[in-house]
Amino acid sequence: MGMGWYLFRRQTLAAALLCFTSFPLFAREGTGLPTRSDHRPPVPAYSNFNQNDQHISSKTWTGSLPDHPKIDEYLQYFSQGDGLEYLQRCLNRAEPFIPFIASVLEEKNMPPELLYLPVIESAFRVDALSRSGAAGLWQFMMNSIDPYDITVDAWQDDRRDFWKSTEAALDKLQYNYNVTGDWNLALAAYNCGLNKVRRTIASSGINDYWELIDRGLLPRETSNYIPKLAAVVLLSNSKGAHNLPLLWQSNMKWERIDLDKSVDIRRIATKAGIDESLLLQAHGELNYLVTPPASSGYKLKVPVRYGSKIQAILEEESDLLEFKRYSIQSGDTLSELAEWYRIPVNMIYDFNPGVSSRNLRIGQVLLIPLVHNDIPDRAGIVDSSVTEQWSGRYTVITGDSLWGISRRFNTSPEELALGNKMPLNAVIMPGMVLNVPELNE
């Protein structure tokens, strides 16, 4: 195949390195960057580049990369100027997610080159939203989330969940590969749809991606898709080239913690001493920075090194979500309150079990989760200074409920929940210490 061909291969790395993949690079004498043809301007050389300076190892992409002008075009673009700056920004954003994606690829025995696909899909932005409505790192459309573990509702859009969307995207790519038998075609199907690729193969009798694009049989975007990815892998795979981030050195590992109550991500970050922007990025699926009710089965994603600390915070702290206590006024409706506080009406139902839009009573007190910091007070806001002055403490025992404890201390379940900065439907566990009024207060 000659000097112009790039083949994928397995290499062995030390255990400390992450498992990625590489295109073997064949360079002309005296240059660091591979060139494919003598009649085209060479891509700017890497300084001190050699074959050993490759961090990606392990499983290879099936087949080979031909000497194709589209790959050269994107090598030129991403190795200098605006293209290089764009690639640097993408890889900087990728750092928190690299070890997780690499581990899932290894677990599924898939080509680690796919690690870089979000560069092409979303520029490694969890909040990416295309004009066609595709969302997240892996750009899922709403009509493609089944049968994957992706929830889209008033609380969250799991297409923006780096954990769930990665698992779903790789499952989808694996399925495409099982159908087509070729990773190039599997990637093409991820871009333009499996049915489109299958129809094109059936009508043309051609099952080679490169021949299909040379004949103009695939959409323009799909024709650029794999050459673009190939260039990104080639450039990003070379240690220190063009000052690109050394992503394989990232040690950011994540774990998930089951929640038995709703929490504000910002408060968790503050109490645990974690960079708030990192934790918010890790929970990019949340629409309100507040986790769904315990009944949803939502899991908090945290860096492993903070796991035990956050677990302790969740067990011991009660002020992980701020509420306003609102007394229903004449003419109030739940939809109007939801609009005022910029939350879905379902959130009011979730935190006020038994409330009915048809049977609201003047003076009825609701707990409203405060998920925005710029909401002006409303006429019905109840002064919480009374509960803030409670000096009593009560240790929860087996069988306790907010209703039972509130009766014991001559208060209401709503006030008890407010005094402990928890939702009315919070699960209280034996050993928890609650703020309560002294019986002589």
Please tell me whether residue 187 adopts helix, strand or coil conformation. helix
Environment class of residue 412 by beta-carbon count within 10 Å: exposed (0-12), middle (13-18) or buried (19+)? middle
What are the start-end ranges of the H helices in 283-344?
A: 307-316, 334-341
Residue type, 145: I
Distances (CA, A) of 438 to 77, 411, 430: 71, 11, 20
Q: CB of 170 within 8 A of CB of 106?
A: no
Of these residues, 113, 121, 414, 415, which one is catalytic? 121
H helix intervals, 237-333: 265-272, 276-282, 307-316
Helix segments in 22-97, DSSP class H: 69-78, 81-94
Sign, CA dihedral 287-98-150-279, equals negative
Cα dist. 10→19, 21, 45, 120 in Å?
Answer: 10, 7, 24, 24
Q: How far apart are CA 115 and CA 100, in angstroms?
A: 10
From residue 163, give the alpha-carbon distance in Å to each of 66, 255, 257, 258, 299. 34, 10, 13, 15, 11
- Whether 121 sits among the annotated catalytic residues: the reply is yes
Burial class (CB in 10 A: 0-12, 13-18, 19+), 213: buried
Identify the three-state secondary structure at position 65: strand
Structure tokens at 276: 């708030």
* Calpha distance 270→276 (Å, rounded): 7
Crossing angle (nearest 10°) for helices 307-316 and 265-272: 110
Backbone phi, psi, residue 238, to 5°: -100, 120
Alpha-helical runs (H) found in 80-208: 81-94, 98-107, 117-122, 162-180, 183-192, 194-204
First to last CA, the chain: 88
Distance CA 301, CA 254 (A): 7
Task: Give the integer Cα–Cα distance in Å for 380 and 424.
Answer: 18
Query: What residues are labeled active site?
Result: 121
